[in-house]
Amino acid sequence: MDHCHEIELYPDPTVIIVDFEQAIIQAISNVFGPETRTQGCFYHLTQSTWRKIQDLGLTNHYKESENFRHFCGQIDSLAFIPVEDAPAGMQLLTTRSYHSADCDTDHSLVGCKVRLQPKQIHRSKQTGYPRINTARTKMPDLCKRFADSTEEALRDCPTNSAEERWNHIRGAIYNSAMDTFGKRERQNPDWFEAGITKLELAIADKRKALLNYKREPSEKTLAALRKARNDAQRLARRSANDYWLSLCQSIQLSADCGNIRAMYDNMKKAFGPSITKIAPLKTASGDTITDRGKQMERWAEHYQELYSRENVVSTATVEKCKALPLMEELDVPPSIDELGKAIDSLASGKAPGNDGIPPDVVKAGKSTVLHHHLHELLLQCWEGTIPQGMRDANIITKETAATATTTAEYPFSVPLGRPSPE
């Protein structure tokens, strides 16, 4: 079904022929609904009969006795009589006598139960936070609402450790910003979002027809449900066709008018997001690594080796170096004004780090109680340890026409320290 949705096909079968497995029958009922009738496959029925003959050791008897073959065929032919006549047919087979009395009529088909266990798929990439709509941070009324929500969330902020304090502040900022500014919408809506006003009505009618059928199962409600499903699928196909036709006409019109920018923007809508490429990385022995997990391990090995390397400097070289005065002011804890300057220096419009908090949200809460809590957290980190969540970074590969460089994307809280003197 997922593949059908990808190629924009929406099957609506009335009868599905499957094997005699309860798991498949239950899955069909859950996906297509109770109105879809499940029918057993006659081929698998005959195969089940033949396997039973083999299990009972009657293979040679089946090949030699014509009466026994005829009786086994009558067992399979029960599938073609009406359901209400099946007990009478079984009774006829079990009470009928044969002249040679060389067949065993006491056996029956054996059903089996299959237990399906889903296989856990391990993914190296963790699911990130939904993006916050930073375009709404410029609205004064929403900023005031964000300030009130943040103040309420930070009222019982823990102060035992920097780790607990940072986790609480991070959650308060993100949840308040998401509730206030909302989730960032997709820049390129698909055909479903483009025709959502019409599709919502058809989906509501389909849901209503399904509820009516479940309350009162009958031919009338079943026909209404099928009609509603067909109408919804027909409208979905028409909406998809209209969307793609409109997009193709827009691309052609932009190309004819010479508007190259609009043409490429519409082509991006049609083709979707670009594929993220992974720059090759080599091991210490020179072998190329393409796996993301092994690449992260290689980066950790590289930096561990780099920082643990001991460099021997001669005394003569040290004596030739010019002695610089000690900057004792760097040992002084940062003030709240320095924190405000660091927040102002954050670049707007940048992607958030692992915390999911963009710099625009921090700037919107600078004049609130959030500024005071961040300063206290910074002082606590200054005297103790920095939480792991503030030190984690995303390794991002940026490719250009000439080279491929690797940069680190940190959370917003990393640049909040004192800048280094030039």
The pLDDT mean for the chain works out to 77
Contact 52, 109 (CB under 8 A): yes
**Per-residue pLDDT, 109:** 43
Same domain, 251 and 356: no
The answer to whether residue 138 sits within a structural domain is no
What is the C-alpha separation between 421 and 326, in angstroms, rounded? 12
What is the C-alpha separation between 78 and 90, in angstroms, rounded? 8
From the list 134, 138, 146, 148, the residue with the least C-alpha distance to 180 is: 146
Same domain, 288 and 407: yes
Same domain, 198 and 257: yes
Query: Residue 265 corresponds to which tokens in the numbers above?
Result: 């923007």
Confidence (pTM): 0.46
* pLDDT of 323 higher than 50: yes
Query: Residue 136 corresponds to which tokens in the numbers above?
Result: 């709404």
Please state the domain count of the chain: 3
pLDDT digits (tens, 9 = 90+) for 253-292: 998 988 888 888 888 888 876 666 666 788 888 888 878 7
**Per-residue pLDDT, 68:** 80
The answer to whether residue 254 sits within a structural domain is yes
CA distances from residue 233 to 15, 57, 230 in whole angstroms, order as listed? 18, 52, 5
Name the more confident of 275 and 21: 21
What is the residue type of 4?
Answer: C
Same domain, 306 and 243: no
Highest mean pLDDT of the ranges 232-236, 281-285, 367-371: 232-236
pLDDT digits (tens, 9 = 90+) for 301-315: 888 888 888 878 888
What is the C-alpha separation between 294 and 285, in angstroms, rounded? 14
Which residue range is the domain that position 208 belongs to? 191-271
Mean pLDDT, residues 205-232 taken together? 90
Contact 134, 184 (CB under 8 A): yes
Q: Last residue of some domain: 95, 113, 146? A: 95
**pLDDT-above-90 percentage for the chain:** 5
What is the C-alpha separation between 409 and 128, in angstroms, rounded? 14
Contacts of 379 (CB under 8 A, 6+ apart): 333, 334
Same domain, 404 and 289: yes
pLDDT digits (tens, 9 = 90+) for 73-125: 777 777 777 777 777 776 666 544 444 444 444 444 444 555 666 666 555 55
Largest CA distance in the chain: 119
Q: What is the pLDDT confidence band of residue 376, given thresholds at 50, 70 and 90? A: confident
Query: Residue 161 corresponds to which tokens in the numbers above?
Result: 């450790």
Same domain, 250 and 291: no
Q: Last residue of some domain: 95, 114, 144? A: 95
